[in-house]
Amino acid sequence: MARDYAADILDPVAREIVTNVGIWVDREVIPHVAEYEHEDIFPEPMVKGMADMGLFGIKIPEEYGGLGLTFECYAGVCIELARGWMSLAGIINTHVLVAWAINEYGTEDQKRRFLPRMVAPEIRAALSITEPDAGSDAQAIKTTATRDGDDYLLRGQKMWVTNGQRAGVYLVLTKTDPNAQPAHRGISAFLVEKDTPGFFVGRNLPKLGYKGVETTELAFDDARVPARNLLGGEEGRGFQQVMSALEVGRINVAARGVGVAQAAFDDAIRYAQKRVAFGKPIFEHQAQQIRLAEMATKIRAARLLTFDAARKKDAGLRCDLEAGMAKLFATEICQEVVLDAMRIHGGVGYSKELPLERYYRDAPVMVIAEGTSDIQKLVIARNIVRDYPV
């Protein structure tokens, strides 16, 4: 395991859990990840290991059988998972996000019906926002939910749904009032169960990276969803509920950026000390020392930004500014660090025999997932301008 860079950041409980996850990653993930990743195979043994450690219930309160741990701890866990394989942190992302949304906004009935089953997990969760014509602009969704007695009929299509094939419950953003102005007032979120009549899981979409975890289409053809599965039991609250939950997702993606960048740096600095060029290890060449120093500094800054956002969320406060900054910076520097690590390795870094090419393919999805870098900049700008009234 690499140096514990979080030892001076995390509280003692979180530090112990994160350390244990890191040991598991070194033992059970890193030696086996290439065979799963290159074949794009769902890593059943690794997911079972995550479940055995209780990671699917990490943010579910103890009263429902979960661990009820902090976002600070969750961020540290996601960094370690991503250090081994970024896809593992993606597998738990929407599960934890949806569990948090149910606990934060759900009715008591919804909490009792879903949260205990999400701990083991008996069922896993997926988030469904994006559509063929609505990505970053979530208010432009066209999927509708129309009241029909004690049910709602959902009609529409969703895209890029992580865990789409294996989930048992889907948090789905819909329009219950397509004519509402502003549009977000007509948006509602539903908990759609997999066996819902009229609900279909489509094909698995092939991707450049982010292998091992499925990304699918969903279709709703007058899917009949009980009214008691309207998140919180009130129409028109879905946009705010999901945007708040996306703060959880952005902390996860920021942590993934830190983890992948850390993995690339670990490989690069070890290689730089072993590889001899012009009569000495390349680490002794000043150009490479400068490159590695910049890499380490960027990773440290991204790590601190990520834990800062997590602590703000732990305090029960809105952290769209902090999560946006962390997600923006961590994912952008991840791409930079991975490319620098490839430069340090030279030609061998381009080979599939080393994990660098996997890092290089995984990094781009993180600048897109849970809101692109440009969206994060808009979120940041809208927040900081409030501190400078004219």
What is the distance between the alpha carbons of residues 253 and 375, in angstroms, rounded to a whole number? Answer: 14
Phi, psi dihedrals of residue 161, rounded to the nearest 5°: -95, 110
Whether the CA torsion 283, 287, 290, 291 is positive or negative: it is negative
What is the distance between the alpha carbons of residues 330 and 168, in angstroms, rounded to a whole number? Answer: 31
What is the distance between the alpha carbons of residues 361 and 180, in angstroms, rounded to a whole number? Answer: 41
For residues 216-242, b (16+ Cβ closer than 10 Å) or e, as one string? bbbbbeebbbeeebbbbeebebbbebb
> What CA–CA distances, in Å, run from 319 to 129, 164, 184, 293, 308?
20, 27, 20, 30, 9
Pairing of strands 151-162, 144-148: antiparallel
C-alpha 163 chain-centroid distance: 12
H-only helix segments in the chain: 12-24, 33-39, 44-52, 71-84, 86-105, 108-119, 238-274, 286-314, 320-345, 356-366, 373-384
Please, is 40 exposed, middle or buried when counting C-beta atoms within 10 Å of its C-beta (0-12, 13-18, 19+)?
A: middle
Q: Tell me how far apart the 2 most distant CA atoms of the chain are, in Å.
A: 80
Q: Tell me, what amino acid is at 139? A: Q
What is the distance between the alpha carbons of residues 101 and 126, in angstroms, rounded to a whole number? Answer: 12
- The full DSSP string for 244-310 is HHHHHHHHHHHHHHHHHHHHHHHHHHHHHHH-EETTEEGGGSHHHHHHHHHHHHHHHHHHHHHHHHH
Closest by CA position to 192, among listed 126, 130, 236: 126
Pairing of strands 169-175, 125-128: parallel
Q: Are 217 and 164 in contact (CB under 8 A)?
A: yes
The catalytic residue positions are: 370
Alpha-carbon dihedral angle through residues 161, 363, 119, 48, given to the nearest 10 degrees: 110
